[in-house]
Chains A and B, each alone.
Chain A
């Protein structure tokens, strides 16, 4: 019986053999599993990183080198000139400035309006509050095309087309539902007793908002500012619809100009892409914690 069983039932045999395996073997198996995990992760990392590496690499090549086939992996000679040449050919700094101004103004709008609205949705109790809050959340899934044409007609009547007003003014009216939602989630975590103590002392609700809640909400505000900045930096659709004059272009629209005008010179195109992506990636490295916190705050408690 004992001699037959290993051949007869190998399936039931394996786990028990594994359990009794001598220490070194177990260590080898563990190492193997960890090696397997890291091999998969490294392969995936290569796939995720390759486009960015290739972008930066190409931006330091000469035009003919960029088109070499089979490909040249390391730029040789290593040329910096694509960047200054590109900045000279296109009003790149102008685009940067336009983007920056757009971001700065909407950040003010979002911080003021979203924090007020979030306060009304979290720190005060009133009948119908949660129903209205759900209506606000629902606007998040409303396709933007459902409001675009009447808005365009309306802004045209105001004389706003061609400038940034159509993109800036709504942010002062709580248009960033995402920010309001994030701030509301954060305000809910602040103990109600703080507000009550202030109320007993005779503080007005606005005073409590300004002097008690806002100072406590600095980390959440930082997240809102960061996300709004990135939103503006990446926004393509808004400017595409409303901005017509090339001098007013933000970076996103400016970038498409290189593709149109210099599509034969890929080193330039990639220098342009690098110049647009680098600030955001660098910003991300410095603010990673705020970032991840913000995403998880909205994502996991929704």
Chain B
């Protein structure tokens, strides 16, 4: 008995020490990220949480005020508007861009001649710098000289003021978003090309029409990629800011129809220097994103199909 343990020990020690060495090496290689994670994510995240319970202007020390910022948000009408506007944009933009990007990808996947040409054309708008594309859209949707209203007047339609109309400002931002959906489209196209041809042949043999093939073969096969893109575009839509900031002067106008969540956050933080209040908004946004992601991932078990799943 003693003999065996004594004989095993060096081997066990060697295994343990080699595992320890591997861990050390692994940690050494990821250390740049680990340091960055603590310094640029972990610390500021908890600091934001702390600031959200304080009154803080950036000068001097934060003054602890308990839940004052959160109860302030509850009674803040502009905050409710910002929440509503962001919700409006997200609820329309995310499904619409998903359907359009997927639709374009399906269209391009139908063995059309010049596929590469069309793909390039649909993709280019998404790499145009955001500021440039915002300027372009202000110009083409200009109420009195813009090309869109000029074309509309050709068919005797009186175009709205688009970015400068309270009712039309958000839909115009949605159009701007749709113009730049090249990235998900390219991802969907690649995913579609990865669906095995035999699956369609089998489905066709069993008498499935094009619609059924789409619903029973294509969509399940690419559902993990749809989930990935939907989560990504949800998280981005909720943080919608740049285009609105470039286009609307003053930010949030006309009325407060383009006062998005982050627009209001930015105003509170960097214009009014209500850093504690803004931190409370930031933390609530985190909770919102977390809930949406968790709900999506949980419900996704029902509609996302994983090929290599071992359950």
Interface residues of A (CB under 8 A from B): 34, 37-38, 40-41, 44-45, 48-52, 54-55, 58, 66-71, 112-113, 116-117, 119-121, 124-127, 129, 132, 135-136, 139, 141-154, 156, 170, 172-175, 180, 205, 209, 230, 233-234, 236-237, 240-241, 251-253, 255-256, 258-260, 266, 269-270, 272-274, 276-277, 280-281, 284, 288, 292, 295-296, 299-300, 302
Instruction: Count A-B contacts at CB 8 Å.
Output: 265
In the complex, chain B residues whose CB is within 8 Å of the CB of A280 = 127-129
Contact of B183 among A66, A276, A295 (CB under 8 A): A295
In the complex, chain A residues whose CB is within 8 Å of the CB of B279 = 149
A121-B30, A126-B27 known; A146-B45 Cβ under 8 A: yes
- Whether the pair A145, B125 counts as a contact (CB closer than 8 A) is no
Given contacts A145-B282, A151-B40, A234-B127, 9 further A-B contacts (CB under 8 A): A38-B112, A49-B121, A141-B293, A142-B45, A146-B285, A152-B58, A266-B139, A276-B129, A284-B124
- Whether the pair A37, B110 counts as a contact (CB closer than 8 A) is yes
Which of A116, A173, A253, A288 lies at the interface centre, i.e. has the most chain B CB atoms within 10 A of its CB? A173
Give chain B interface residues in 15-74, CB to chain A under 8 Å.
Answer: 19, 22-23, 25-30, 32-33, 35-37, 39-41, 43-45, 47-48, 51, 58
In the complex, chain B residues whose CB is within 8 Å of the CB of A125 = 22, 26
- Whether the pair A70, B150 counts as a contact (CB closer than 8 A) is yes
In the complex, chain A residues whose CB is within 8 Å of the CB of B166 = none
Q: How far is it, in angstroms, between the C-alpha of A180 and the C-alpha of B37 when the chains are bound?
A: 13
Chain B interface category by residue count: 35 or more
Is B278's beta carbon under 8 Å from chain A?
yes
In the complex, chain B residues whose CB is within 8 Å of the CB of A296 = 186-187, 190
Residue of A nearest to B145 (CB): A67
Give chain B interface residues in 124-167, CB to chain A under 8 Å.
Answer: 124-125, 127-133, 135-140, 142, 144-145, 147, 150, 153-154
Is B107's beta carbon under 8 Å from chain A?
yes
- Whether the pair A50, B262 counts as a contact (CB closer than 8 A) is no
- Whether the pair B32, A281 counts as a contact (CB closer than 8 A) is no
Is B230's beta carbon under 8 Å from chain A?
no
In the complex, chain A residues whose CB is within 8 Å of the CB of B30 = 116-117, 120-121, 132, 174
Q: How far is it, in angstroms, between the C-alpha of A144 and the C-alpha of B285 when the chains are bound?
A: 10
A141-B289, A236-B242 known; A174-B25 Cβ under 8 A: no
- Whether the pair A236, B179 counts as a contact (CB closer than 8 A) is no
A48-B122, A121-B30, A237-B242 known; A170-B131 Cβ under 8 A: no
In the complex, chain A residues whose CB is within 8 Å of the CB of B174 = none
- Whether the pair A148, B282 counts as a contact (CB closer than 8 A) is yes
Least Cβ–Cβ distance between B287 and chain A, in angstroms:
10
A146-B48, A296-B186, A299-B187 known; A141-B231 Cβ under 8 A: yes
Residue of B nearest to A73 (CB): B147
Is B118's beta carbon under 8 Å from chain A?
yes
Which of B36, B43, B150 lies at the interface centre, i.e. has the most chain A CB atoms within 10 A of its CB? B36
Is B212's beta carbon under 8 Å from chain A?
no
Residue of B nearest to A55 (CB): B136
- Whether the pair A276, B286 counts as a contact (CB closer than 8 A) is no
Top 8 closest pairs, chain A to chain B, by CB: A173-B36, A120-B29, A174-B33, A299-B187, A150-B47, A126-B26, A147-B44, A150-B44
Which of A40, A68, A147, A252 lies at the interface centre, i.e. has the most chain B CB atoms within 10 A of its CB? A147
- Whether the pair B269, A148 counts as a contact (CB closer than 8 A) is yes
- Mask, B187-211, CB within 8 Å of A = 1, is 1001100100000000000000000
- Whether the pair B147, A54 counts as a contact (CB closer than 8 A) is yes
Least Cβ–Cβ distance between B18 and chain A, in angstroms:
11
Is B87's beta carbon under 8 Å from chain A?
no
A252-B129, A299-B191 known; A147-B41 Cβ under 8 A: yes
In the complex, chain B residues whose CB is within 8 Å of the CB of A139 = 37, 41
In the complex, chain B residues whose CB is within 8 Å of the CB of A237 = 241-242
Is B259's beta carbon under 8 Å from chain A?
no
- Whether the pair A292, B242 counts as a contact (CB closer than 8 A) is no
In the complex, chain B residues whose CB is within 8 Å of the CB of A284 = 123-124, 127
- Whether the pair A41, B118 counts as a contact (CB closer than 8 A) is yes
- Whether the pair B125, A48 counts as a contact (CB closer than 8 A) is yes
